[in-house]
Structure 1
Amino acid sequence: MLTRSISLALLLWGIILCGPIQAAGLELPEPLPLLQPPPAERVELGRMLFFDRRLSGDGTMSCAVCHDPQRGYADGRALSGAYPTTRHWRHTQSLINVAYLDVFLWDGRSTSLEEQAEGPIHSSFEMNLHLDFLVEKLRETPGYPELFHAAYQSETTRQTISAALADFQRSLIVRDTPFDAFLAGDSDALSSDARRGLELFYGKAACSRCHSGPLLSDQKFHNTGVGETEELLSDPQRRAARNFFLVQVGLERGERDPGRYAVTRDPADQGAFRTPPLRQVAETAPYMHNGSLATLEEVIAFYNRGGGSDPDKSPLLRPLELTAEEKSALLAFLHSLTGTVPVVRPPALP
């Protein structure tokens, strides 16, 4: 107990003196930096588009259907919602703090928020609306042309639509977690269990090998051995959506999600997915690219086993041999990554 107390004292002293902590054998990141927010009129226009179901082919889908503000800008489902009569084949990721990301989507095929914003709109199994048709719809919707001119000094175009959606997403910042306060020097921001979990996260459990930096993501791609789910393997509509995607990107139909390989064609990327940031992770269950793990307890147990059994699994994963007390402490730390989600309500639409 005395040794642990000394270790924690050194850790806290490192926070006070060093900013990023390099004490007790740990190297912790700086808190998330402040970002310059987009102009308010652009954020507001993006908010309208985000909630507007006219962005879908039959008027039933909006961005907020799958990125629900009440669910941490995810949707709480194992596999994403989809356009009526179709089904999706991957899990919805949260939009919290996407302004800090360099690549987007599970396989990283989008390199900007603007590019990412266009994808779901024209996807046959998401919103199913041709982008050029959307331009004409919004140009003929009273109120929208004036809003685009005010925000971008431009007509309504594909570029200004995706820019507005991207600027709204850039406003979805959470950087007031207990972990951020702890990094900034508040030694009381974390409970004793969460502090022990922090030591494990950056130490024995080695979570920070991939969940590193201020976002708690290295923004790289790793195969953790997550297996295919029975729901995906047995559902013809989900299989059809995935096969459609595979054919569209020039791959053969198959029984597994290729992950990053679909972008790079590098065999080392087979089954690899982008490391998700962990901010708000306790409120955005389920987990993994296919939603196959329902709780954080299951996630911890998965990594404690050394991940899944995929032959292409990353060599970084190994059994951790965490005790029940250590798993509980790690869970407490993950809960300390929860902050205040921006309150965004559906606006009055043109």
Structure 2
Amino acid sequence: MFSDPRIGTHMNPDQPGLKPSWKPGVFIVNGTQDLVTDKLAALQSYQLSIAAPLPPAGSFNPDAANRGEALFNGAAGCANFHSGDKFTDANERSHSPEDTVADDKLYVTRTATGMWRTTPLRGLWQHPPYLHDGSAATLQDMVERYNTKMNIGLSASKKSDLVEFLKKL
């Protein structure tokens, strides 16, 4: 029903009744009209409008989270990528595989562009494991990975504060 060679997806492209659309590599059943593309912007807008659930009461230390927020927006540099009210720059830019701190750099190239987007962080506390390939089991693991691979130089207490802020989102 669908084929997109950019990402290596082919689902029954030779099935009788499939006709190529105006887009190379895309096949549409029952006609040649693309019924999807013009709806993608509205779908993304809807997805981004859904409010993330609040963290459970007592699940983070508010004082440490405030210190962590200052680090997030300052010395740790997180806000350079995780910006705006959704904490993502996904609508502004994509990133090359070399920019990921995930273990599996090939994983992030499995997109149509070979690039990856910055994950929105709202509700992050409920979505382990972390990073594009799931290689960070906990928020602490993720912060440690960024601290090491990006050479940020945070102390143990500052990493802990940053984790508390991430739990708050």
- What TM-score bracket applies, with the shorter chain setting the length? 0.5 to 0.7
Q: Distance in 2 between matches of 1:277 and 1:191?
A: 21
Other-structure match for 2:10: 124
From the superposition, tell whether residues 272 and 132 of structure 1 become closer, same or farther in structure 2 (CA, over 3 Å): closer
One-letter code of the match for 2:109? G
One-letter code of the match for 1:159? L
1:294 paired residue among 120, 137, 140? 137
Q: Which runs of 5+ in 1 are unaligned?
A: 1-55, 58-108, 110-118, 137-156, 179-189, 230-255, 264-270, 308-316, 338-350
Other-structure match for 2:58: none
One-letter code of the match for 1:259? T
Other-structure match for 2:147: 304
> Does the aligned pair in 2 maintain the 1:194–1:336 contact within 8 Å?
yes
Other-structure match for 1:215: 86
2:64 aligned with 1:193, yes or no?
yes
Could you tell me how far 1:276 is from its partner in structure 2?
1.1
TM-score (norm: length of structure 2)? 0.62
From the superposition, tell whether residues 291 and 167 of structure 1 become closer, same or farther in structure 2 (CA, over 3 Å): same
Determine helix, strand or coil for the equivalent of 2:28. Answer: helix
Q: Distance in 2 between matches of 1:218 and 1:168?
A: 14
Higher strand share: 2
Other-structure match for 1:228: 104
Could you tell me how far 1:331 is from its partner in structure 2?
1.1
Other-structure match for 1:245: none
Q: Which runs of 5+ in 2 are unaligned?
A: 19-26, 56-60
2:35 aligned with 1:159, yes or no?
yes
1:325 paired residue among 153, 157, 166? 157
Could you tell me how far 1:201 is from its partner in structure 2?
0.5
Percent sequence identity over matched residues? Answer: 31
Could you tell me how far 1:209 is from its partner in structure 2?
1.5
Other-structure match for 2:73: 202
Q: Which moved more, 1:277-286 or 1:220-229?
A: 220-229
Q: Distance in 2 between matches of 1:211 and 1:160?
A: 28
Q: Distance in 2 between matches of 1:258 and 1:277?
A: 16
Give runs of aligned pairs for residues 260-299 of structure 1, distance below 5 A. Answer: 263=113, 272-299=115-142
Deviations 1:227-268 (A, max 9, x none): 328xxxxxxxxxxxxxxxxxxxxxxxxxx45739963xxxxx
Deviations 1:194-251 (A, max 9, x none): 111101111221111111222211222151243328xxxxxxxxxxxxxxxxxxxxxx
Could you tell me how far 1:294 is from its partner in structure 2?
2.0
From the superposition, tell whether residues 167 and 205 of structure 1 become closer, same or farther in structure 2 (CA, over 3 Å): closer
